[in-house]
Chains A and B, each alone.
Chain A
Amino acid sequence: MSRIEGVLQTLKGQGRKALIPFITAGDPHPDETVGLMHTMVDAGVNIIELGVPFSDPMADGPVIQLACERALKHSTSLRRVLAIVREFRQTNDTTPVVLMGYLNPIEAMGYEAFADAAAEAGVDGVLTVDLPPEEAGDVAPLFAERGLDSIFLLAPTTTDERIRAIADHSSGYVYYVSFNGVTGAAKINVEEVAAKVAHVHELTALPVAVGFGIRDAETAAAVGRVSDGVIVGSVLVDTIARNQADIEELKRALTDLLNPMREALDSLAS
């Protein structure tokens, strides 16, 4: 069983929901990322999605675009991100780490070299935004052989036929994108998400985590009620941007954001 499956199964047994933060590796500086990851673990998160900076993040809104620019200013390459995960694993071997990013840095490194290095560094899953399962035939088996979960996106526009096909290619969990748009836009409609996620649950046994538009404890709880986990990204990245000059203050701010979300999710436990 993968580390991701283990964590999600344990939570399910407890009637709890996964809290999954997203931050961009290398933002505000690659030397700070491991510390921020530990801070988030202390605040009760279950899985960390670590963004791999890319020069042209087409699926992201301005908040994460700027985070990529800050990280790239300090040369946060994919290799550097893997080194960050390796360092994190020296003191944490329980919290799963999912790399989330775009395909070109992985292509540039080489699929096999990346799969080897990711597994060796202690990465648990890979979510490549611009790689639908149709194009993943060369890379997904390399991940599977090394015990890396392949996580794919589902969207409001995804047909039933595709939901089934994508779930067949996925392991760990599927990531449901709550609305048509880029990251950081504030247009989540909780009723629509609830209906769609319930429908996805009918089509796959995999856990469903929901991301895009979750900004506070209230939306986290509303979405957590209907899903297996919530992914929180832009609001954290925005907090990093605003507190980048003072890392201790930043860690306090992240904790202050995540604590109420954790409490709100746990208050759903039955």
Chain B
Amino acid sequence: MSVKLTEEMLTALPDARGHFGAFGGRFVSETLMDSLMTLEREYLRLKKDPEFQATFDKDLADYVGRPSPLYFAERLTRETGGAQIWLKREDLNHTGAHKVNNTIGQALLASFLGKKRIIAETGAGQHGVATATVCARLGLECHVFMGAEDVQRQSLNVYRMKLLGAQVHSVQSGSRTLKDAMNDAMRDWVTNVDDTFYIIGTVAGPHPYPLLVRDFQSVIGRETRSQSLEKTGKLPDALVACVGGGSNAIGMFYPFLTDESVQLYGVEAGGLGIETGQHAAPLCAGRPGVLHGNRTYLMEDDDGQIAATHSVSAGLDYPGVGPEHSWLKDIGRANYVSVTDDEALDAFRMLTLVEGIMPALETAHAVAYAVKLAATMDKDQMVVINISGRGDKDIHTIAQLDGIEL
């Protein structure tokens, strides 16, 4: 079933309690409720404040380097032999990924709220780096929580964060990946709620985070929309983005939700294959539940315990997903699919060799699916892939798989 979305429907969501249909909400312990309500109130006020918006836009232009280009991947298109493939180059942003769009916005919010201490969770380290970066610029104390396994597989980003003056806390509990980093960030927040601002890196978490992260990331889709009209005279036929928590995907999709002709594809981490259970694809293979402050699709066992996930990409290795994606899935507006570790690794090599663009392993999932999709489409059609981040951080992982010691 697919529902025709209108502007009125979209502006009504999330509702006053942060719900997107059956999803979202604010499922946290009481200690955090007042802080979340204050954040919501202040954000809704600042969202309409021209000074706040002007500062945000100026930072995106002069510090991040926006707009990021929409690039026609001519050779990849030729090799694929189907629809035109275009790349939205978020990898060219300062710090190398889309994550900085959101950290600029949230750090600005923190400054307006007078909070001097910043905490963040990170998986691949891109959000941690983007947070450490804006904290360095604004002179804010920065603590990043990162699962011990991710600290190991993303050591380059760990060192970058340290160079930027952040303290990186290696999280030893649970599966020692992104979900555990988020648990510990929540524990720190509840302890230091009076002076601390939590910069969540994705469109998950308690209301208002899914709302404000989506708003800050929507610059990706707005630019893509106008660049597409300007360069090709029409809207794309399909948008493809990878989905872990789903911030780059929602940022790309949101400005196109009412454009019925534009197909939306969110690509989850299929890991070793959905059928093996070793994956991180809650929208493809999970069911609704409550974790980290929101109701959304989750990977869990029959008893409601959160399941261990697997992905070659640390940034997608998460058992939940943003609640707005869960809603878009249930109303049939977006399609959620998965590709395996191996397909993503092949796509990493392909884009690197064919276009000279080395994508992050997270992004490589979107590339892998988009190439398959484009091959089934007509030559006059157009697919845009959100190149959410660059792959420098993953070189050690790739080299290890190749049996090479750097």
Judge if B155 is at the interface, Cβ distance under 8 Å. Answer: no
- Are the CB atoms of A108 and B187 closer together than 8 Å? no
- Are the CB atoms of B194 and A56 closer together than 8 Å? no
Q: How far is the CA of A102 from the CA of B303 in the complex (A)?
A: 12
Interface string of A35-57 (1 = CB under 8 A from B): 00000000000000000001111
Interface string of A47-88 (1 = CB under 8 A from B): 000000011111101100100000010000111000000000
Minimal Cβ-Cβ distance residue in A for B287: A108
B373 to chain A, nearest CB (A): 34
Q: How far is the CA of A127 from the CA of B306 in the complex (A)?
A: 20
- Are the CB atoms of B30 and A166 closer together than 8 Å? yes
Q: For chains A and B in complex, what number of residue pairs have CB atoms within 8 angstroms?
A: 116
B303 contacts which of A59, A77, A131, A185 (Cβ < 8 Å)?
A: A77
Given contacts A65-B173, A103-B290, contact A152 B30 (CB under 8 A): yes
A108 contacts which of B31, B191, B289 (Cβ < 8 Å)?
A: B289
Judge if B291 is at the interface, Cβ distance under 8 Å. Answer: yes
Residues of B within 8 A of A159 (CB): 34
- Are the CB atoms of A105 and B303 closer together than 8 Å? yes
Minimal Cβ-Cβ distance residue in A for B16: A134
Judge if A109 is at the interface, Cβ distance under 8 Å. Answer: yes
B34 contacts which of A62, A107, A158, A182 (Cβ < 8 Å)?
A: A158
Chain B interface residue bracket vs A = 35 or more
Q: How far is the CA of A177 from the CA of B31 in the complex (A)?
A: 8
A109 to chain B, nearest CB (A): 7
A157 contacts which of B25, B27, B31, B295 (Cβ < 8 Å)?
A: B31
- Are the CB atoms of B26 and A104 closer together than 8 Å? no
Given contacts A108-B289, A157-B35, A158-B33, contact A58 B187 (CB under 8 A): yes
B291 contacts which of A65, A104, A155, A162 (Cβ < 8 Å)?
A: A104
Q: How far is the CA of A154 from the CA of B304 in the complex (A)?
A: 26
Minimal Cβ-Cβ distance residue in B for A212: B31
Main secondary structure of the interface of A (DSSP, over half): loop
A209 to chain B, nearest CB (A): 14
- Are the CB atoms of A108 and B34 closer together than 8 Å? no
Residues of B within 8 A of A65 (CB): 173
B29 contacts which of A59, A105, A156 (Cβ < 8 Å)?
A: A59
- Are the CB atoms of A180 and B31 closer together than 8 Å? yes
- Are the CB atoms of A108 and B30 closer together than 8 Å? no
- Are the CB atoms of B186 and A181 closer together than 8 Å? no
Q: How far is the CA of A103 from the CA of B288 in the complex (A)?
A: 12
Judge if A153 is at the interface, Cβ distance under 8 Å. Answer: yes
Minimal Cβ-Cβ distance residue in A for B306: A55
B:272-297 near A, CB below 8 Å: 288-293, 295
- Are the CB atoms of A182 and B191 closer together than 8 Å? yes
B300 contacts which of A78, A108, A152 (Cβ < 8 Å)?
A: A108
Given contacts A104-B304, A132-B26, A180-B193, contact A155 B173 (CB under 8 A): no
Residues of A within 8 A of B186 (CB): 58-59
A211 to chain B, nearest CB (A): 12
B186 to chain A, nearest CB (A): 5
B39 to chain A, nearest CB (A): 13
Residues of B within 8 A of A54 (CB): 304-305
Number of A residues with CB within 8 Å of any CB on chain B: 42
Given contacts A55-B174, A104-B298, A105-B303, contact A177 B290 (CB under 8 A): no
Judge if B258 is at the interface, Cβ distance under 8 Å. Answer: no
Judge if B28 is at the interface, Cβ distance under 8 Å. Answer: yes
Residues of A within 8 A of B32 (CB): 157
Residues of A within 8 A of B290 (CB): 102-104, 107, 130
Judge if A135 is at the interface, Cβ distance under 8 Å. Answer: yes
Interface string of B242-256 (1 = CB under 8 A from A): 000000000000000
Residues of A within 8 A of B306 (CB): 55-56, 104
Judge if A106 is at the interface, Cβ distance under 8 Å. Answer: yes
B:1-47 near A, CB below 8 Å: 17, 25-35
Q: How far is the CA of A105 from the CA of B304 in the complex (A)?
A: 4
The interface centre, meaning the residue of A131, A134, A153, A162 with most chain B CB atoms within 10 A of its CB, is: A134
Given contacts A54-B305, A104-B290, A108-B304, contact A162 B34 (CB under 8 A): yes
- Are the CB atoms of B31 and A155 closer together than 8 Å? yes
B:323-354 near A, CB below 8 Å: none
Interface string of A170-185 (1 = CB under 8 A from B): 0000000100111001
Q: How far is the CA of A182 from the CA of B186 in the complex (A)?
A: 10
Q: How far is the CA of A103 from the CA of B296 in the complex (A)?
A: 13
- Are the CB atoms of B289 and A107 closer together than 8 Å? yes
Judge if A241 is at the interface, Cβ distance under 8 Å. Answer: no
B:144-202 near A, CB below 8 Å: 173-174, 179-180, 183, 186-187, 190-194
A231 to chain B, nearest CB (A): 15
Residues of A within 8 A of B51 (CB): none
Q: How far is the CA of A115 from the CA of B138 in the complex (A)?
A: 50
Provide a sorted-by-A list of 27 A–B residue pairs whose CB atoms are within 8 angstroms.
Answer: A54-B304, A56-B180, A58-B186, A59-B186, A59-B187, A77-B303, A78-B304, A102-B290, A104-B304, A104-B305, A104-B306, A105-B304, A107-B288, A108-B289, A130-B29, A132-B26, A135-B25, A155-B29, A155-B30, A155-B33, A157-B32, A158-B30, A162-B33, A180-B31, A180-B191, A180-B192, A182-B191
**B residues with CB within 8 A of A:** 17, 25-35, 173-174, 179-180, 183, 186-187, 190-194, 288-293, 295, 298, 300, 302-306
**A residues with CB within 8 A of B:** 54-59, 61-62, 65, 72, 77-79, 102-109, 129-132, 134-135, 152-159, 162, 166, 177, 180-182, 185
Top 8 nearest A-B pairs (CB, nearest first) are A108-B304, A105-B304, A77-B303, A155-B31, A153-B30, A181-B191, A55-B305, A104-B304
Query: Can you add 9 more A-B contacts, CB < 8 Å, to A130-B290, A155-B30?
Result: A56-B179, A72-B305, A107-B304, A130-B28, A132-B30, A157-B30, A180-B192, A182-B187, A182-B191
